[in-house]
Amino acid sequence: MPRSSVSFPGSSYPLHLAVALDGAGWHPAAWREQRARPDALLTARYWADLVATAESGLLDFVTIEDALSLQSTLPDGPDGRTDRVRGRLDAVLIASRIAPLTRHIGLVPTATTTHTEPFHISKAIATLDHVSEGRAGWRVQVSRPAENRHFGRREVGPVSLTAPEGPGVRAYVEEHFAEAEDFVEVARRLWDSWEDDAEIRDAATGRFVDRTRLHTVDFEGRWFRVRGPGIVPRPPQGQPLVTLLAHGGPPYRLGARTADVIFTTPHGVDDVRASVAEIRAAQEVAGRADATLHVFADIVVLLGETQAAADERAARLAERAGEPFTSDAPIFVGTASALADTLLEWQRAGLTGYRLRPAVLPDDLDAVVGALVPELRRRGVFRGSYAPESLRARLGLPRPANRYATANRPATAAR
């Protein structure tokens, strides 16, 4: 296949590639596969090994799943199943542990905006950006109703996500995504609450910080009243990467207003075009038409050296699970070459990258790195090495100016 003619803003290569890490993999029977490591899921070494593999494939970044409730097949609460992985480590803490063990790959943990405070999350992600030297991101996530029972700080009437159009669901979604928008805005303001040169660190004069370069954010809205400033100096990227998973409607609007990357779940090339068009329209309404906003597609991948081998793996996993595998994202079963064909076809419909969900870890991550990446490189659409750059720079995103800084202000003594 010839090199794609599609160009992507700010990137030397026309295709960005990330992987989403979750437990033993995205297939519910993944933990029972021969190379799975269910006894190591709660160890730092397990996650370090996975991210090291992803980095060896020169991927843009990894995301790490998290939530404020146990994994479940039900949208409204625990399912009581004992044949699937349950329990996980904190994603932000995993990323911070892995950061010193890696050099280039971006680290994007999930952190929930419901039942948490923007001051805490902004501090954690800013810390990750410092520890990783400019490779941090954040996957913004809204809680499901069942998570309320773990906190008891807010009352939510009976809402069932099994009936998405049922009474109360639309109001619940609108309210919680509006809260998430304010949450992200507060976090971004706190990242800017220290100017880049606020720290003087002059031992000879005894001046460590210039207090005039620390700013209150004074945010007051329906859900948050935050004074500021933050307690972590401005992150190396200025603003760490903000991402979110969206399936349409309010999530698309939230991403268009606040995010740098939106993960979508299109099921076919026509769906890709429709999703991208809806997001770009929302981006224009939000006044961000000139901003670089990446649209990635999420795809669950189950790969084999041949189509027959991939089909055999899928059948074995389905037998172990006792039911067909379903997902909110499309499921690809096949070879790396065929997957590359699909990625390039969907890319021409307007996507700027992909977040692949390995069905089984480490098997499908190994296949992405060992088979898909070389195939994309042969087609001239993926990098051959990392550049010494931040995660934002790799994605063609500028380092934002600090909203509180005063232009051309002369240096002043610390107060």
Nearest to 54 by CA among 91, 8, 19: 19
> How far is it, in rounded angstroms, from Cα 267 to Cα 245?
15
327's CB contacts (< 8 A; 6+ apart) are 26, 300, 357
Nearest to 130 by CA among 94, 91, 89, 100: 100
Which tokens sit at 52?
A: 């090291």
Residue 66 marked in a binding site: yes
Strands 261-264 and 294-303, by their bridges, are parallel
* Distance of alpha carbon 199 from the chain centroid: 30
Nearest to 331 by CA among 302, 305, 352, 304: 302
Nearest to 312 by CA among 33, 85, 53: 33
* Phi, psi (rounded to 5 degrees) for 243: -130, 160
* Phi, psi (rounded to 5 degrees) for 117: -120, 140
> How far is it, in rounded angstroms, from Cα 45 to Cα 23?
13
3-class SS of residue 260: coil
The amino acid sitting at 150 is H
C-beta atoms surrounding 181 within 10 Å: 20
3-class SS of residue 153: coil
> How far is it, in rounded angstroms, from Cα 23 to Cα 139?
17
Strands 353-358 and 331-334, by their bridges, are unpaired
CB 36 within 8 A of CB 316: no
> How far is it, in rounded angstroms, from Cα 349 to Cα 269?
7
Which tokens sit at 391?
A: 């995660």
* Distance of alpha carbon 289 from the chain centroid: 22
Residue 102 marked in a binding site: no
**Binding annotation:** 66, 110
Known binding residues for FMN are 66, 110
